[in-house]
Structure 1
Amino acid sequence: MYDAIVVGARCAGSPVAMLLARRGYRVLLVDRATQPADTVSTHYLQQYGLAKLKQWGLLDTLVAADVTPITRMVISYRENVIAGFADPYEGIEATYAPRRTLLDPILLDGARAAGVEVREGYTVRELLFEGDRVVGVKGSTGGGEPTEERARIVIGADGSQSFVGKAVGAEIYRTIPAASFVYYSYWSGLKTDFHSRIGVDQQVGVWPTSGGRTLLAIMKPLDRWDEFRTDVEANFLQVVKDIVPDIAEQVADAGQREERFTGMRYPDNFYRRSHGPGWALVGDAGYHKDPITGQGISDAFVHAELLADQVELGLSGQRPLDEAVADYVAARDERTASAFQFAATVGELALPAQLEVIFGALAAHPDNAKAFFNLIAGATTGEQFFHPDHVATMLGRA
């Protein structure tokens, strides 16, 4: 009998398992993949996400790996360009965008070191119920015989298509349709800062990752999907040339694409019911927003810790377990509401008039730009940044 079973061992699952194990609980962590295994990702870790790794004692391992620090960002909307970086946040002066084949094993090793029992290559086939309460899982490793494992809570950290969420019938209670698709790949031979540049109905992202590679990504509206796929490479490079011609020249002169293109139509932005009798969802399983703001990994860390705190209250008997987990969901929803709406809006690649005016103010004054970079870092909240008084101050400076 485990205290918790966590399904999914990536950016949300490994941390929540690790944190519960560090507090003395018996935790089983399962994943159908075996690390290192790649997955579609924005890669980027803001300072508030790195701060969690630092608190958990894992940041030094990441920094010591072959991953390039990022200390300058260039963000633009059409002709308005802002460049700079956030102030140090909890002593962190750089950010990183590691490949998931590097980051996910670090997280999984952290869980193992905490005493988590890990089963890779393990597929959950069904949940076990007593009445309406989830009490465990049934699954197998490879083609082996299925086993049943029981726990006081089962946590689904298994992505936007969550098996756990589907098995408990967790409904989506807020949704905004996805507006765009993404294609990306990796180049060697490039030297560049972090770029997130929006042109007319298209976007380019460029940032150094790990292993000496640079990620180039493009976004376009969903209705251009079929047309784009007729010649992915030519259409991809044309978007780069349209928005960041200097980087396009570098790609042509010195760049070497090292991997195939990866493309994905984004799932809709959603909140899914994330708690019930004996179960909870964390990470993309319960909450997914447009990847254009690149907050998915950092948010997974924050929410994993928030869930671990509430689960501990329940497992220790300080509060009823289901009640404590319900409070995790309420806090998550409240803290992410503005970021959820902002990401969905920006993901349409055409800002409404009010946001376009604000972006012009960011480009017009360095103090405004610094405030925006501090928002990205996690030093201020969206509610603080977009408060009418702060917006008036920025417009006054501009």
Structure 2
Amino acid sequence: MIAGHWSVVVVGGRIAGATAAWALAPYAEKVLVVDASQATSFWPQQSTWDRDGAILWDDLGLLDTVLACGAPRTYGHTFRFEDEVSEQDYPQQDGYSYRMTVPREVLDPALLRAAQSRDNVTVLRPGRVRDIVTRGGRVSGVTVRHQGVEHAVSCDLLVLADGRLSRNADRVGAVPYQVIPSPWVAMLAYFADLPLPTDRGYIHLERDNVAISTPCGPRQWCVSTDMHQAMLDASGRHPAQEFARIIAEDPHIGPAVALGRRITPVGGAGKLRMHRRPMSGPGWCLVGDAGYHLDPVVARGTKVALVGAQLLRDRIAAAGDVAGAVLDGLTEQRDAALEGDWELAEQACLPAPVRS
């Protein structure tokens, strides 16, 4: 039965939401995950992390889950800046010293299945939150629409993990306190059977675009570009056309994709905005892009989701259960933990010289 009381309601069942549901389940009587997407959705997005991310996955108890997604570990990459090429190897400090990239349509369902494996986690998909209920200035529940029926749900904690465009974050009054427009447009597609290394990535940096290839599954690679908006404005071409041109002209990726095959559409996003919102308030908490969105050009979105889930879990674990947890100060903790990542993304969003 959906209507009634739940210890935690998580809105969004992708990386941030599924991870939060998994992490909070040991401290909750019942957890309800409400996810609006269809099971067959294709997301032109990838999840990328390095040693720090692997350590976070392990701390959250999900490392085996993400490794089972089948993406190979990479231990370095070829770096090209214009005509100069160098080989970068990642320092081997311990067993976490690798980089990994997993398509989101592979990783996100795996995480949601892990959350559902907890006996006290229920997933509604597709489902939507139609309204948020407050009592005495505190969030006390939501109205959930599932299969054409609306259900009144009360909760001790509402976790919003429904992405950078979260309307629910606006509803609870989580107004962004910092917003930075991004000049980058990100595009990607997945390819199979490329004659490329399975344990190394590739990065080609130009003044107005970046081309990247990285292994992401059995005989699969993600090929992506980040393009400066000024370059697109000057060319007048659609981002997908520029993606095809950049990839075809790349001396490393171009010959490889000519011999392999593309297995997904080309997709992506542009005109994005970085933002920071308060992480918590009376009866609610934001994890992932809903509360803290970095430009994808720096590949730190997964870390943001994991840090938020970890901080929330640790605060609730310290209290012993969800109902007794005090969430004050989470915003400051999150911002301190991610300050270096924010600064890196902020630098990437500064005006850059673009070839004429």
TM range (shorter): 0.7 to 0.9
Q: Does the C-alpha gap of structure 1 residues 338 and 94 become closer, same or farther in structure 2, counting only changes over 3 Å?
A: closer
The letter for the 2-side match of 1:344 is E
* 2:111 counterpart SS class: helix
Alpha-carbon offset, residue 96 of structure 1? 2.0
What is the rounded CA distance, in whole Å, between the counterparts of 2:28 and 2:130 in structure 1? 28
Residue of structure 1 equivalent to 2:122 = 117
**Aligned counterpart in structure 1 of residue 162 of structure 2, from 155, 158, 164:** 158
Q: 1:278 aligns with which of 283, 295, 298?
A: 283
Moved more, 75-84 or 61-70: 75-84
Match for 2:110: what amino acid? I
Deviation at 1:348, TM superposition (A): 4.8
* Residue matched to 2:33: 29
Alignment of 1:1-398 (within 5 A): 1-35=5-39, 37-78=41-82, 81-88=85-92, 90-115=94-119, 116-143=121-148, 145-190=149-194, 191-192=196-197, 193-225=200-232, 230=237, 232=239, 234-241=241-248, 244-252=250-258, 254-314=259-319, 316=321, 321=325, 324-348=326-350, 350=352
For 1:187 and 1:25, the matched residues in 2 are separated by 43
Q: Aligned letter for 1:300? A: A
Counterpart amino acid of residue 78 in structure 2: V
Q: Which runs of 5+ in 2 are unaligned?
A: none
Instruction: Give the Å deviation of 1:228.
Output: 5.7
TM-score normalised according to structure 1 size: 0.79
**Closer, same or farther: CA 209–138 of 1 in aligned 2, 3 Å:** same
Q: CA deviation at 1:246?
A: 2.5
Structure 1 gap segments, 5+ residues each: 352-398
CA contact (8 A) 1:184 1:215 kept: yes
Contact 2:207 2:352 in 1 (8 A): yes
| Cα pair 2:183 2:349 within 8 Å, conserved | yes
Q: CA deviation at 1:296?
A: 0.7
Distance 1:317 1:36, change over 3 A: closer
Q: Deviations over 1:317-344 (max 9, x none)?
A: 89x64xx322221111112122112122
How much has 1:34 moved relative to structure 2?
A: 3.7
In structure 2, relative to structure 1, the CA distance for the partners of 1:40 and 1:327 (3 Å cut) is farther
1:44 aligned counterpart, secondary structure: strand
- Equivalent AA in structure 2 for residue 146 of structure 1: E
Give the deviation of 1:125 after TM superposition: 0.6
Say if 1:125 and 1:90 are closer, same or farther in 2 by CA, change over 3 A. Answer: farther
Q: Name segments (4+ residues, structure 1) moved above 3 Å.
A: 34-38, 55-58, 75-82, 223-234, 311-318, 347-351
Question: 3-state DSSP class of the match of 1:97?
Answer: strand
- Residue 130 of structure 1: CA displacement? 0.9
In the alignment, the residues of structure 2 paired with residue 71 and residue 160 of structure 1 have an alpha-carbon distance, to the nearest angstrom, of 31
Contact conserved, 1:76 with 1:197, CA < 8 A, in 2?
A: yes
CA drift of 1:70 comes to 1.6
Task: Tell me if structure 1 keeps the 8 A contact 2:27–2:316.
Answer: no
More strand by share: 2
Displacement of 1:197: 2.4
The CA distance in 2 between the partners of 1:61 and 1:229, in whole Å, is 43
For 1:317 and 1:264, how far apart are their aligned partners in 2? 36
Does the Cα contact within 8 Å between 1:206 and 1:217 map onto a contact in 2? yes
CA separation of 1:269 and 1:17: change in aligned 2, threshold 3 A: same
Q: Aligned partners of 1:270 and 1:223: how far apart in 2?
A: 22
Asked if structure 2 preserves the Cα contact closer than 8 Å seen for 1:35 and 1:104, the reply is no
Shift of 1:232: 5.0
User: For the residues of structure 2 that align with 1:205 and 1:294, how far apart are their CA atoms?
Assistant: 12
One-letter identity of the residue aligned with 1:305? Q
CA distance in 1, matches of 2:81, 2:341: 18
Cα deviation for residue 15 of structure 1 reads 1.4
Superposed CA deviations along residues 92-150 of structure 1, whole A, max 9, x for unmatched, are 2433211112111221122112231221211111101113211111011132x200111
User: Following the alignment from structure 2 to structure 1, what is the Cα–Cα distance between the partners of residues 265 and 110?
Assistant: 25
| Alpha-carbon distance in structure 1 between the residues aligned to 2:126 and 2:322 | 33
State the AA in 1 paired with 2:76: R
The residue identity in structure 1 corresponding to 2:12 is G
Letter in 1 for 2:255: E
Alpha-carbon contact 2:8-2:28 (below 8 Å) kept: no
Q: Residues 4 and 154 of structure 1 are in contact (CA less than 8 Å); yes or no, is this contact kept in structure 2?
A: yes
Contact 2:159 2:286 in 1 (8 A): yes
The percent identity for this pair of structures is 26
Q: Is the 8 A contact 2:316 2:322 kept in 1?
A: no
Q: Is the 8 A contact 2:19 2:309 kept in 1?
A: yes
1:42-62 superposed Cα distances (whole Å, 9 cap, x missing partner): 421222222233344433343
Residue 231 and residue 292 in structure 1: after superposition, are their counterparts in 2 closer, same or farther (change >3 A)?
A: closer
